[in-house]
Structure 1
Amino acid sequence: MAELAVTAVGADRPGIVAAVAEVLRERGGNVEDSAMTILGGHFAIVLIVASEDEPDDLRDALLAATSQLGLTVSVSRADGSRGAIEPTHLLSVYGADQPGILAGVSRALADVGANVTDLETRVLGADTEPVYAMVVEVVCEAGDALAAGLDTVCEQLGVDHTLRTIDAQTY
Protein backbone atom coordinates (compact mmCIF):
# COMPACT_ATOMS: atom_id res chain seq x y z
CA MET A 1 0.00 0.00 0.00
CA ALA A 2 1.15 3.50 -0.76
CA GLU A 3 1.11 6.30 1.76
CA LEU A 4 -0.95 9.31 0.79
CA ALA A 5 -1.06 12.75 2.42
CA VAL A 6 -4.66 13.96 2.63
CA THR A 7 -5.61 17.51 3.59
CA ALA A 8 -9.08 18.96 3.90
CA VAL A 9 -9.99 22.47 4.98
CA GLY A 10 -13.38 24.12 5.26
CA ALA A 11 -15.70 26.13 7.44
CA ASP A 12 -16.06 24.35 10.77
CA ARG A 13 -19.21 22.27 11.09
CA PRO A 14 -20.23 18.89 12.48
CA GLY A 15 -19.64 15.84 10.30
CA ILE A 16 -16.39 16.69 8.54
CA VAL A 17 -14.31 14.02 10.27
CA ALA A 18 -17.05 11.42 9.83
CA ALA A 19 -17.43 12.14 6.11
CA VAL A 20 -13.70 11.89 5.44
CA ALA A 21 -13.24 8.81 7.62
CA GLU A 22 -16.16 6.99 6.00
CA VAL A 23 -14.72 7.51 2.51
CA LEU A 24 -11.37 6.17 3.67
CA ARG A 25 -13.01 3.11 5.29
CA GLU A 26 -15.14 2.38 2.22
CA ARG A 27 -12.06 2.50 -0.01
CA GLY A 28 -9.93 0.33 2.29
CA GLY A 29 -7.69 3.15 3.47
CA ASN A 30 -6.06 3.12 6.89
CA VAL A 31 -5.32 6.36 8.76
CA GLU A 32 -1.79 6.01 10.11
CA ASP A 33 -1.18 9.54 11.40
CA SER A 34 -3.39 12.59 11.76
CA ALA A 35 -3.75 16.13 13.02
CA MET A 36 -7.03 18.01 13.10
CA THR A 37 -7.84 21.44 14.47
CA ILE A 38 -10.05 24.51 14.21
CA LEU A 39 -8.24 27.64 13.03
CA GLY A 40 -10.14 30.90 12.77
CA GLY A 41 -13.47 29.18 12.21
CA HIS A 42 -12.05 26.72 9.69
CA PHE A 43 -11.54 23.03 10.37
CA ALA A 44 -8.31 21.56 9.02
CA ILE A 45 -7.37 17.90 8.67
CA VAL A 46 -3.98 16.48 7.73
CA LEU A 47 -3.80 12.70 7.41
CA ILE A 48 -1.28 10.09 6.35
CA VAL A 49 -3.28 7.23 4.86
CA ALA A 50 -2.18 3.79 3.68
CA SER A 51 -4.19 3.21 0.54
CA GLU A 52 -4.31 1.32 -2.75
CA ASP A 53 -5.86 4.41 -4.36
CA GLU A 54 -4.16 6.76 -6.77
CA PRO A 55 -4.09 10.29 -5.31
CA ASP A 56 -6.50 11.72 -7.92
CA ASP A 57 -8.99 8.88 -7.41
CA LEU A 58 -9.06 9.34 -3.63
CA ARG A 59 -9.34 13.12 -3.98
CA ASP A 60 -12.29 12.75 -6.35
CA ALA A 61 -14.03 10.34 -3.95
CA LEU A 62 -13.48 12.69 -1.01
CA LEU A 63 -14.75 15.68 -2.96
CA ALA A 64 -17.87 13.81 -4.05
CA ALA A 65 -18.66 12.64 -0.52
CA THR A 66 -18.01 16.03 1.08
CA SER A 67 -19.51 18.31 -1.58
CA GLN A 68 -22.17 19.57 0.85
CA LEU A 69 -19.43 20.52 3.34
CA GLY A 70 -17.55 22.81 0.95
CA LEU A 71 -14.11 21.41 1.69
CA THR A 72 -10.91 22.12 -0.17
CA VAL A 73 -9.26 18.70 -0.49
CA SER A 74 -5.81 17.66 -1.68
CA VAL A 75 -4.22 14.22 -1.89
CA SER A 76 -0.59 13.52 -2.78
CA ARG A 77 1.96 10.76 -2.38
CA ALA A 78 3.67 10.74 1.00
CA ASP A 79 5.97 7.75 0.73
CA GLY A 80 8.89 8.43 3.00
CA SER A 81 10.48 7.76 6.32
CA ARG A 82 8.16 6.11 8.83
CA GLY A 83 10.44 6.55 11.82
CA ALA A 84 8.95 8.34 14.79
CA ILE A 85 10.39 11.77 15.42
CA GLU A 86 10.79 12.40 19.13
CA PRO A 87 11.04 16.06 20.12
CA THR A 88 13.99 17.07 22.28
CA HIS A 89 12.78 20.50 23.40
CA LEU A 90 9.56 22.31 24.22
CA LEU A 91 9.45 26.05 23.56
CA SER A 92 6.79 28.45 24.85
CA VAL A 93 6.65 32.06 23.65
CA TYR A 94 4.36 34.78 25.05
CA GLY A 95 4.14 38.49 24.41
CA ALA A 96 2.19 41.39 23.03
CA ASP A 97 0.73 40.37 19.68
CA GLN A 98 2.62 41.86 16.74
CA PRO A 99 3.56 40.84 13.22
CA GLY A 100 6.77 38.85 12.91
CA ILE A 101 6.85 36.69 16.03
CA LEU A 102 6.34 33.41 14.16
CA ALA A 103 8.78 34.46 11.43
CA GLY A 104 11.48 35.51 13.89
CA VAL A 105 11.23 32.47 16.13
CA SER A 106 10.99 29.99 13.26
CA ARG A 107 14.06 31.57 11.59
CA ALA A 108 16.02 31.23 14.85
CA LEU A 109 15.01 27.56 15.00
CA ALA A 110 15.96 26.94 11.37
CA ASP A 111 19.30 28.70 11.77
CA VAL A 112 20.45 26.12 14.34
CA GLY A 113 19.01 23.17 12.44
CA ALA A 114 16.03 22.63 14.72
CA ASN A 115 13.21 20.58 13.18
CA VAL A 116 9.71 21.71 14.20
CA THR A 117 7.57 18.66 14.99
CA ASP A 118 4.52 20.49 16.33
CA LEU A 119 3.60 24.16 16.55
CA GLU A 120 0.49 25.91 17.84
CA THR A 121 -0.24 29.61 18.13
CA ARG A 122 -3.13 31.58 19.62
CA VAL A 123 -3.98 35.21 20.20
CA LEU A 124 -5.38 35.51 23.72
CA GLY A 125 -6.94 38.23 25.81
CA ALA A 126 -8.89 41.36 25.02
CA ASP A 127 -8.81 43.01 21.61
CA THR A 128 -7.26 46.08 23.21
CA GLU A 129 -4.28 44.12 24.60
CA PRO A 130 -3.91 40.86 22.67
CA VAL A 131 -1.25 38.41 23.78
CA TYR A 132 0.42 36.07 21.29
CA ALA A 133 1.08 32.58 22.63
CA MET A 134 3.10 29.92 20.82
CA VAL A 135 4.06 26.39 21.86
CA VAL A 136 6.60 24.54 19.73
CA GLU A 137 8.04 21.04 19.93
CA VAL A 138 11.42 20.75 18.23
CA VAL A 139 14.16 18.25 17.58
CA CYS A 140 17.55 19.89 18.02
CA GLU A 141 20.93 18.50 18.99
CA ALA A 142 22.48 21.98 19.31
CA GLY A 143 20.84 22.84 22.63
CA ASP A 144 23.22 25.64 23.61
CA ALA A 145 23.01 27.29 20.18
CA LEU A 146 19.23 26.88 20.25
CA ALA A 147 18.97 28.61 23.62
CA ALA A 148 21.28 31.44 22.56
CA GLY A 149 19.45 32.03 19.28
CA LEU A 150 16.07 32.11 21.02
CA ASP A 151 17.35 34.47 23.72
CA THR A 152 18.47 36.90 21.02
CA VAL A 153 15.37 36.81 18.83
CA CYS A 154 12.91 36.92 21.72
CA GLU A 155 14.70 39.93 23.19
CA GLN A 156 14.55 41.66 19.78
CA LEU A 157 10.83 40.88 19.51
CA GLY A 158 10.10 41.89 23.11
CA VAL A 159 8.51 38.56 24.00
CA ASP A 160 9.11 36.11 26.83
CA HIS A 161 10.04 32.51 26.22
CA THR A 162 10.74 29.28 28.05
CA LEU A 163 12.82 26.47 26.56
CA ARG A 164 13.05 23.12 28.27
CA THR A 165 14.44 19.78 27.31
CA ILE A 166 12.06 16.86 27.07
CA ASP A 167 13.03 13.72 28.92
CA ALA A 168 11.84 10.96 26.60
CA GLN A 169 11.44 8.56 29.53
CA THR A 170 8.94 10.78 31.33
CA TYR A 171 7.20 12.32 28.33
Structure 2
Amino acid sequence: MIKIITSLITNDKPGIIEQLAKIVTHHNGNWEASNFSQLAGKFAGVVEISVAEEQQTQLITALQQLQQADFIIDIATSSLSNEQAKTSHIIEVTGNDRNGIIKDVSSVLAKNNINVLKLSSETSPAPNWGGNLFKAIIEIQASDTNAIDAAIDGLESITDDLIVDITLL
Protein backbone atom coordinates (compact mmCIF):
# COMPACT_ATOMS: atom_id res chain seq x y z
CA MET A 1 0.00 0.00 0.00
CA ILE A 2 1.05 3.54 -0.78
CA LYS A 3 0.12 6.51 1.38
CA ILE A 4 -0.95 9.68 -0.41
CA ILE A 5 -1.05 12.85 1.64
CA THR A 6 -3.07 15.57 -0.06
CA SER A 7 -3.46 19.13 1.15
CA LEU A 8 -5.96 21.46 -0.43
CA ILE A 9 -7.32 24.98 -0.29
CA THR A 10 -10.40 26.18 -2.18
CA ASN A 11 -13.27 28.61 -1.79
CA ASP A 12 -15.64 27.35 0.89
CA LYS A 13 -18.87 25.81 -0.38
CA PRO A 14 -20.97 22.73 0.37
CA GLY A 15 -19.83 19.39 -1.07
CA ILE A 16 -16.04 19.73 -1.02
CA ILE A 17 -15.49 16.69 1.21
CA GLU A 18 -17.97 14.68 -0.84
CA GLN A 19 -16.18 15.62 -4.07
CA LEU A 20 -12.84 14.51 -2.63
CA ALA A 21 -14.31 11.32 -1.11
CA LYS A 22 -15.85 10.31 -4.46
CA ILE A 23 -12.44 10.54 -6.13
CA VAL A 24 -10.81 8.46 -3.39
CA THR A 25 -13.55 5.80 -3.51
CA HIS A 26 -13.61 5.68 -7.33
CA HIS A 27 -9.90 4.78 -7.30
CA ASN A 28 -10.26 2.19 -4.52
CA GLY A 29 -8.46 4.37 -1.99
CA ASN A 30 -9.07 4.27 1.74
CA TRP A 31 -9.57 7.61 3.54
CA GLU A 32 -7.48 7.07 6.69
CA ALA A 33 -7.21 10.43 8.43
CA SER A 34 -8.03 14.05 7.74
CA ASN A 35 -8.30 17.50 9.20
CA PHE A 36 -10.32 20.24 7.47
CA SER A 37 -11.40 23.74 8.47
CA GLN A 38 -13.13 26.79 7.07
CA LEU A 39 -10.72 29.69 7.47
CA ALA A 40 -11.49 33.24 6.29
CA GLY A 41 -13.90 32.09 3.58
CA LYS A 42 -11.58 29.37 2.32
CA PHE A 43 -11.79 25.63 2.98
CA ALA A 44 -8.44 24.06 3.79
CA GLY A 45 -7.27 20.69 4.91
CA VAL A 46 -5.21 17.61 4.58
CA VAL A 47 -6.16 13.96 4.06
CA GLU A 48 -4.16 10.72 4.29
CA ILE A 49 -5.23 8.10 1.77
CA SER A 50 -3.95 4.56 1.36
CA VAL A 51 -4.16 2.98 -2.07
CA ALA A 52 -2.79 -0.07 -3.85
CA GLU A 53 0.38 0.72 -5.75
CA GLU A 54 -1.28 -0.08 -9.10
CA GLN A 55 -3.97 2.58 -8.42
CA GLN A 56 -1.58 5.29 -7.22
CA THR A 57 -1.00 7.09 -10.54
CA GLN A 58 -4.68 7.21 -11.47
CA LEU A 59 -5.68 8.52 -8.04
CA ILE A 60 -2.99 11.21 -8.07
CA THR A 61 -4.03 12.29 -11.59
CA ALA A 62 -7.66 12.55 -10.50
CA LEU A 63 -6.71 14.60 -7.43
CA GLN A 64 -4.56 16.93 -9.55
CA GLN A 65 -7.53 17.56 -11.86
CA LEU A 66 -9.20 19.38 -8.96
CA GLN A 67 -6.83 22.27 -9.75
CA GLN A 68 -9.03 23.00 -12.78
CA ALA A 69 -11.91 23.55 -10.32
CA ASP A 70 -10.01 26.29 -8.40
CA PHE A 71 -8.43 23.97 -5.85
CA ILE A 72 -4.85 24.50 -4.74
CA ILE A 73 -3.55 20.94 -4.34
CA ASP A 74 -0.29 19.55 -3.00
CA ILE A 75 0.34 15.80 -3.03
CA ALA A 76 3.04 13.74 -1.35
CA THR A 77 3.47 9.96 -1.32
CA SER A 78 5.04 7.56 1.13
CA SER A 79 5.31 3.83 1.46
CA LEU A 80 5.57 4.10 5.26
CA SER A 81 2.73 2.83 7.38
CA ASN A 82 1.33 4.80 10.29
CA GLU A 83 3.79 5.58 13.07
CA GLN A 84 4.28 2.78 15.53
CA ALA A 85 2.20 3.24 18.63
CA LYS A 86 4.18 5.41 21.01
CA THR A 87 3.16 7.23 24.11
CA SER A 88 1.90 10.65 23.27
CA HIS A 89 0.93 13.58 25.42
CA ILE A 90 -1.44 16.48 25.03
CA ILE A 91 -0.20 19.92 25.99
CA GLU A 92 -2.74 22.71 26.37
CA VAL A 93 -1.37 26.23 26.26
CA THR A 94 -3.58 29.19 27.18
CA GLY A 95 -2.69 32.86 27.56
CA ASN A 96 -3.05 36.36 26.21
CA ASP A 97 -2.69 36.41 22.43
CA ARG A 98 0.24 38.25 20.88
CA ASN A 99 2.30 38.22 17.72
CA GLY A 100 4.87 35.40 17.71
CA ILE A 101 3.28 33.14 20.31
CA ILE A 102 3.21 30.11 17.97
CA LYS A 103 6.85 30.77 17.06
CA ASP A 104 7.81 30.88 20.73
CA VAL A 105 5.85 27.73 21.62
CA SER A 106 7.17 25.73 18.64
CA SER A 107 10.72 26.92 19.33
CA VAL A 108 10.59 25.58 22.90
CA LEU A 109 9.28 22.22 21.66
CA ALA A 110 11.94 21.95 18.94
CA LYS A 111 14.76 22.87 21.35
CA ASN A 112 13.66 19.99 23.58
CA ASN A 113 13.51 17.52 20.67
CA ILE A 114 9.75 17.13 20.98
CA ASN A 115 7.84 15.97 17.92
CA VAL A 116 4.53 17.73 17.21
CA LEU A 117 1.97 15.19 16.01
CA LYS A 118 -0.97 17.56 15.87
CA LEU A 119 -1.48 21.25 16.57
CA SER A 120 -4.78 23.06 16.85
CA SER A 121 -4.94 26.71 17.87
CA GLU A 122 -7.46 29.50 18.06
CA THR A 123 -7.99 32.96 19.45
CA SER A 124 -11.15 34.22 21.07
CA PRO A 125 -12.18 37.42 22.81
CA ALA A 126 -11.12 37.67 26.45
CA PRO A 127 -13.67 40.16 27.78
CA ASN A 128 -12.11 40.47 31.23
CA TRP A 129 -8.70 41.29 29.77
CA GLY A 130 -9.76 43.52 26.88
CA GLY A 131 -7.84 41.52 24.30
CA ASN A 132 -7.80 38.09 22.72
CA LEU A 133 -7.15 34.80 24.46
CA PHE A 134 -4.83 32.31 22.69
CA LYS A 135 -5.38 28.59 23.13
CA ALA A 136 -3.44 25.72 21.56
CA ILE A 137 -3.89 21.99 21.94
CA ILE A 138 -0.75 20.15 20.89
CA GLU A 139 -0.30 16.40 20.66
CA ILE A 140 3.37 15.55 21.10
CA GLN A 141 5.81 12.66 21.34
CA ALA A 142 9.10 12.92 23.19
CA SER A 143 12.05 10.63 23.68
CA ASP A 144 11.88 10.90 27.47
CA THR A 145 10.02 12.56 30.32
CA ASN A 146 12.97 14.88 31.05
CA ALA A 147 12.42 16.50 27.65
CA ILE A 148 8.75 17.01 28.44
CA ASP A 149 9.54 18.52 31.85
CA ALA A 150 12.09 20.86 30.26
CA ALA A 151 9.59 21.85 27.57
CA ILE A 152 6.90 22.65 30.15
CA ASP A 153 9.39 24.82 32.06
CA GLY A 154 10.35 26.52 28.80
CA LEU A 155 6.72 27.10 27.80
CA GLU A 156 5.87 28.56 31.20
CA SER A 157 8.84 30.93 30.97
CA ILE A 158 7.67 32.42 27.65
CA THR A 159 5.41 34.83 29.53
CA ASP A 160 3.97 34.98 33.01
CA ASP A 161 0.36 34.74 31.77
CA LEU A 162 0.80 31.43 29.92
CA ILE A 163 -0.88 28.39 31.49
CA VAL A 164 0.44 24.97 30.45
CA ASP A 165 -1.36 21.70 31.18
CA ILE A 166 -0.24 18.23 30.06
CA THR A 167 -2.17 14.98 29.74
CA LEU A 168 -0.71 11.51 29.24
CA LEU A 169 -2.57 9.51 26.59
TM-score band by shorter chain is 0.7 to 0.9
Query: 1:156, 1:150 → 2: CA distance?
Result: 10
Query: 1:102, 1:158 → 2: CA distance?
Result: 16
User: Which deviates more, 96-105 or 78-87?
Assistant: 78-87
Aligned position for 1:27: 27
Q: Alpha-carbon deviation of 1:35?
A: 2.0
CA RMSD of aligned residues (A): 2.4
Contact 1:30–1:50 under 8 Å retained in 2: yes
Of Structure 1 and Structure 2, the greater strand share is in 2
Q: Alpha-carbon deviation of 1:98?
A: 0.8
Aligned position for 1:89: 89
Which stretches in structure 2 are left out of the alignment for 5+ residues?
A: none
Match for 1:138: what amino acid? I
Aligned position for 2:120: 120
Counterparts in 2 of 1:116 and 1:85: CA distance versus 1, 3 Å: farther
Q: Alpha-carbon deviation of 1:92?
A: 1.1
Aligned position for 1:157: 159
Contact 2:7–2:74 under 8 Å retained in 1: yes
Counterparts in 2 of 1:65 and 1:146: CA distance versus 1, 3 Å: closer
Match for 1:58: what amino acid? L
Counterparts in 2 of 1:2 and 1:81: CA distance versus 1, 3 Å: closer
Aligned position for 2:148: 146
Query: 1:86, 1:129 → 2: CA distance?
Result: 38
Contact 2:32–2:48 under 8 Å retained in 1: yes
Contact 1:8–1:74 under 8 Å retained in 2: yes
Q: Alpha-carbon deviation of 1:50?
A: 2.0
Say how many residue pairs are matched. Answer: 164
Q: Alpha-carbon deviation of 1:84?
A: 4.2
TM-score using structure 2 length: 0.81
Say which SS state the counterpart of residue 10 (structure 2) adopts: strand
Which stretches in structure 1 are left out of the alignment for 5+ residues?
A: none
User: Which deviates more, 14-23 or 57-66?
Assistant: 57-66
Q: Alpha-carbon deviation of 1:14?
A: 0.9
User: Which deviates more, 43-52 or 89-98?
Assistant: 43-52
Contact 1:10–1:44 under 8 Å retained in 2: yes
Contact 2:156–2:164 under 8 Å retained in 1: no
Contact 1:6–1:73 under 8 Å retained in 2: yes
Q: Percent identity?
A: 23
Aligned position for 2:105: 105
Query: 2:38, 2:85 → 1: CA distance?
Result: 24
Say which SS state the counterpart of residue 148 (structure 1) adopts: helix
Contact 1:96–1:132 under 8 Å retained in 2: yes
